[in-house]
Amino acid sequence: MTQADVLDETQRELKPALLKGLRLRCPNCGGGKLLHSYLKVNDSCTECGQELHHQRADDGPAYLTILVVGHILGFALHIVYTQLRPDPWTLAIIMSVITVGASLIMLPRMKGLVVAYQWAKRMHGF
């Protein structure tokens, strides 16, 4: 067994895998789709055949989404309220709609990120 074979079996590049996961693509080849509906992970990649059914994303993507969206919109709420002083009900409605929209956009991407991280670190049988 050569050193390249050992390296291939023990390490996978993390950054490219995470970027592919954020784009909702297979962390192995970057070509096939990672999800076949809003949050359902494909059993395998249609391009390279990489098995993806090993993933155990569970609640992690939801926690990451709340963390990211909460920090961004918390900061935005503070700036908008101190600079513009809108009516509280108007601000609450607008921020609620933005929060729901941002969460719906971010959630699949965070799931792709978690699956790609698991793939890169060879977790759960990858």
Give pLDDT tens digits for 73-118.
Answer: 999 999 999 999 999 999 999 999 999 999 999 999 999 999 999 9
Q: What is the pTM of this model?
A: 0.87
* 95: nearest Cα among 113, 110, 80: 80
Q: Helices 88-120 and 60-84, interaxial angle, to 10°?
A: 150
pLDDT of residue 1: 47
Half-sphere exposure of 31 (CA within 13 A, CB side): 7
pLDDT of residue 3: 53
Cβ 80 vs Cβ 91: under 8 Å: yes
| Pairwise pLDDT comparison (28 vs 7), residue with the higher score | 28
Q: Which residues contact 108 (CB under 8 A, 6 or more apart)?
A: 24, 35, 38, 39
Average pLDDT over residues 42-68: 96
Helices and strands in the chain, H and E counts: 4, 0
pLDDT of residue 11: 86
